[in-house]
Structure 1
Amino acid sequence: MESVIHFLYNLFYFLIVLSVLIFFHELGHFLAARRLGVKVLKFSLGFGPRVIGRTVGETEYLISALPLGGYVKLFGEEPEKGEDAPALSPEDRARSFSHAPVWKRILIVAAGPVFNMLLAYLIFTGSLSIGVPMYVPDFDSLMPVIETVIEKSPAEAAGFKPGDRIVSIDDRKISTWAQMTETIYTSAGKSLTIVVERDHQNMTLTVTPAPKTVDTEEGQKTVGQIGIGKSPHGAQIVAANPLEALVKGFQATWQWTYLTVEGLVRLVQGKLSMDNIGGPILIGQMSGQAASQGFGGLLFLIAILSITLGVMNILPIPVLDGGHLLFFVIEAVLGRPLSIRKREIAQQIGLALLLLLMALAFYNDIIRLFVKPG
């Protein structure tokens, strides 16, 4: 029964977080289209069959059955094909997305990711304006690189040294400091084979984490420790007043965006494991954990995920906003759009890549649920 309640708790906050992210993203597309004179047919939170909805003016506002996304449907978004396509009146052409100048289409599509960044900025600025500091780590602080080794600790006895980078533990690739500590914490009294990188060479060390009793929310718990440490790196951002918060909020948004982009680059370069990719189950768990820290924790998570969503959507992958922007840039350079056939092929490839990424994220979620580290 307790596990069911925990699941429903995570699900509730997952839906709240996802709804806020989707609403702001689609709101960007919606407002830009309205402002630039393009007719908006539908604004939906969710995909699939309609659950509830209402038409106001010329737009139908919907909540749909599958809450894993959303969309804004624009008039003329998919141009009619063939000779039998009905001719549009001058009034309809003026309000059709596909007949709008390319610069208008670029602004409408880009507005979604821009609004994700705006949401993060508003949350950071609002928090700073009431005196809540923002900590933005640098990427090195997330990496499994040892900075200190405690004297007479299991790590010192095993031969660990400051500067060692943890590569793997018991043949499991380690990419982050948190991943490493979680594995060590759950391995008290168990011998671990750890590969470290030192002076550009790998070497294998064996260490047994010493058991230590600590207090947790569930009561006392025995965890493993080997006696290594890491100092926090990054920026502690504070604002003396609401006016300064306007500037510092931008600083926090920029630094978290940079951190997100750097993480994606490291994934592509193979410096970060694909194990770090997560899907809806991980987001649900994170939402529940953030909510347990209070309203501020939940807002902070929304800000970070909003930046991630904005960055991911701007990638030049067909079916994402960035893919559409790529098509429009090509159209602006060539003076004509790509053929419908070429766009369809590119979108099919983009959809396949996206489905593979979603499958990997879901697989990682399942592994995290049922396979314990170490």
Structure 2
Amino acid sequence: MSTVRLDRATTEAEHFVEQFFGGALSVVEYGVAFVLVLSVLVFIHEWGHYYIARRCGVQIESFSIGFGPELFGITDRAGTRWKFCLIPLGGYVKMLGDADPASMPSEAVATMSEEDKSNSFFYKSVGQRSAIVLAGPMANFIFAIAVFFVMFMTVGETFTPARISGVAPDTPAAAAGFESGDVVLAVDGRSIHRFEELQKNIRINAGSEVTITVDRDGRNVNLPVTPAVRVIDDGFGGKGQIGFLGVYGPSAPARVAEIEPDSMEEAAGLQPGDLIVELNGDLVYSASDLNNKIRDKADQPVSLTVLRGVDADVAGPEDAPADAEQVRIVLRPAPYTLGGEAEEGAEPATNTDEAEVVGTLPGIAWAPLPNITRIYSNPFHAAYRAVSETYSIGASTVTAIGQLLTGDRSVKELGGPLKIARISGDVAKQNVLSLLHFMVLLSINLGLINLLPVPVLDGGHLVFYALEALRGKPVSLRMQEYSFRVGLALVLCLMIFATWNDLAQFFGIGA
């Protein structure tokens, strides 16, 4: 009986490895990627502590990547042991007087000589100790800013104007009164310059009301809206939730690139190069806007106003020259039956349980989108954008943490080391830029998590130092010890829970 159970367990383990990582060889690849990514970020974090500690005259006994037994290392001239340890899930800088990686004071602190006191972390001023502790998270943020700074100058970034080219029916955007042609200016007072920024703000605010300010025909309009909650597959066996609004971003202009021979569009008089600017008297801003407007007009006569002979850089009615040749075309959009599955090609997709007949123009191939550009920043603008992007990601992370605490976001979305390993391997297989971007995201998250006011984390130490500054004396060692034990228990429980989430999502437990 035990042999059968062992065989079954072995089979399930092999199935998990095969499905989650893609086989034994991939386990090694993912493991190497995970260790490299985490080791670099941990080194950066601990280097922040190390650098400021040395500047403050603190003697560093060891600089460790990982926990547990040492695998290998070297000792420098200052007596610091630089080492890699067996368990690659963190790291620490052990300073003179530390009893453990959590920087609890050892018994020797009370009997130190004057010379040792001058080199010990625990005899430095509150300001110096705070600076040393804060330096770790700050190093993670500085790393993110530095990577973004280089990327914005050398690789550039996609820039899509924050212009709404269409509004999907029966969506939060439609209910809130958004219109084609609206230009988004701000979300809850935060300036929006790119459509990508609008998307990020909406994704993180699923189910929470936001006020979006748009420019409509030269006047500012505030539109309160609550993004609907969409549950999506996270690609790793689990589910996540994001917000969606129901607007189309800058889309391909409603300019005809090609006409299918002998189609009803050709018979109606449309020609390649025509720019459709009106449907039944309503302005048309893009191909997606037109497709949305004819959706409920299957096999019904519609009147199109097209501009003929205009330059290729004219993308919509707002760009049209006053003397452009206008041609009126009448046709009937062809009926097309949808049913049961999500439509493709538009955001958001609409799920239907019953068949639906929509109007289409199947004989037209639209001109490509001209509005998306790649911009490269000069050093000054790159520095501004790097700080801005780091702040934006950090703010989104803080919002997500708050949603977890209030129950607005499911704790099942928490990922553990297995999920991080999987993502590390996947992005490493793509390209260096994807890997760097993932490392930046992870670095910002690492910095923020360490600032949480939990004893054993940097934020917990800072709370004790703040209390010491207010009271004029340190918090008792016994209180610190008990607090660190509770903090360590909380961190371990969180790691166990996150790892359980990884396993539960893969095996479908509780789904």
* Alignment pair present for 1:43 and 2:108: no
Q: Which residue of 1 aligns with 2:25?
A: 5
Query: Secondary structure of 1:176's partner?
Result: strand
Query: Secondary structure of 1:76's partner?
Result: coil
Q: 1:52, CA displacement in angstroms?
A: 0.5
Q: Which residue of 2 aligns with 1:344?
A: 481
> What TM-score results when the alignment is normalised by the length of structure 2?
0.56
Q: Which residue of 2 aligns with 1:165?
A: 228
> What TM-score results when the alignment is normalised by the length of structure 1?
0.75
Q: Deviations over 1:163-205 (max 9, x none)?
A: 7834879xxx9751399xxxxxxxxxxxxxxxxxxxxxxxxxx
Q: 1:8, CA displacement in angstroms?
A: 2.0
Q: Which residue of 1 aligns with 2:53?
A: 33
* Alignment pair present for 1:279 and 2:410: no
CA–CA separation in structure 2 for the residues paired with 1:140 and 1:114: 28
* Alignment pair present for 1:20 and 2:40: yes
Q: Which residue of 1 aligns with 2:145?
A: 121
The amino acid that maps onto 1:165 is A
Aligned length: 310
Q: State whether residues 24 and 116 of structure 1, in contact with CA within 8 Å, keep that contact through their aligned partners in structure 2.
A: yes
Q: State whether residues 239 and 248 of structure 1, in contact with CA within 8 Å, keep that contact through their aligned partners in structure 2.
A: no
Q: Deviations over 1:66-99 (max 9, x none)?
A: 1111110000234344xx9763222211111111
Q: 1:368, CA displacement in angstroms?
A: 2.3
CA–CA separation in structure 1 for the residues paired with 2:227 and 2:467: 47
Q: 1:129, CA displacement in angstroms?
A: 1.1
TM alignment of 1:48-67, pairs within 5 A: 48-57=68-77, 58-67=79-88
With a CA cutoff of 8 Å and minimum separation of 6, indicate the structure with the bigger relative contact order: 1
Q: Deviations over 1:296-348 (max 9, x none)?
A: 00000000000000000000000000001111111111111111111111111
Q: Which residue of 2 aligns with 1:226?
A: 351
CA–CA separation in structure 2 for the residues paired with 1:164 and 1:98: 50
Q: Deviations over 1:199-252 (max 9, x none)?
A: xxxxxxxxx8428999xxxxxxxxx98269xxxxxxx99543233211111111
The amino acid that maps onto 2:242 is W
Q: Could you tell me which of 168, 173, 177 is aligned with 2:242?
A: 177
| Segment of structure 1 superposing worse, 45-54 or 238-247 | 238-247
Q: Which residue of 2 aligns with 1:71?
A: 92
Name the CA shift for 1:339/1:141 in 2 (closer, same or farther; >3 Å).
same
CA–CA separation in structure 2 for the residues paired with 1:238 and 1:326: 42
Q: Deviations over 1:115-167 (max 9, x none)?
A: 0101111111111010331755534224567xxxxxxxxxxxxxxxx978348
* Alignment pair present for 1:323 and 2:344: no
Query: Secondary structure of 1:331's partner?
Result: helix
Q: State whether residues 204 and 399 of structure 2, in contact with CA within 8 Å, keep that contact through their aligned partners in structure 1.
A: no
CA–CA separation in structure 2 for the residues paired with 1:54 and 1:18: 21
Q: Which residue of 1 aligns with 2:341?
A: 210
Q: State whether residues 116 and 309 of structure 1, in contact with CA within 8 Å, keep that contact through their aligned partners in structure 2.
A: yes
Query: Secondary structure of 2:123's partner?
Result: coil
The amino acid that maps onto 1:79 is P
- Consecutive unaligned residues in structure 2, runs of 5 or more: 1-17, 99-103, 159-195, 208-224, 233-237, 245-338, 354-372
TM alignment of 1:65-144, pairs within 5 A: 65-77=86-98, 78-81=104-107, 87-133=111-157, 137-142=199-204
Name the CA shift for 1:178/1:339 in 2 (closer, same or farther; >3 Å).
same
Q: 1:295, CA displacement in angstroms?
A: 0.2
Q: Which residue of 1 aligns with 2:15?
A: none
Query: Secondary structure of 2:61's partner?
Result: strand
Query: Secondary structure of 1:210's partner?
Result: coil
Q: Which residue of 2 aligns with 1:159?
A: none
Q: State whether residues 131 and 240 of structure 1, in contact with CA within 8 Å, keep that contact through their aligned partners in structure 2.
A: no
Q: State whether residues 76 and 99 of structure 1, in contact with CA within 8 Å, keep that contact through their aligned partners in structure 2.
A: no
Q: Which residue of 2 aligns with 1:268?
A: 405
The amino acid that maps onto 1:210 is E
Q: Which residue of 2 aligns with 1:312?
A: 449
Which of the two has higher C-alpha Rg?
2
The amino acid that maps onto 2:492 is L
Please state which structure has a larger fraction of its residues in helix.
1
The amino acid that maps onto 1:176 is Q
CA–CA separation in structure 2 for the residues paired with 1:164 and 1:130: 35
Query: Secondary structure of 1:98's partner?
Result: helix
Name the CA shift for 1:244/1:341 in 2 (closer, same or farther; >3 Å).
same
CA RMSD of the aligned region, Å? 3.2
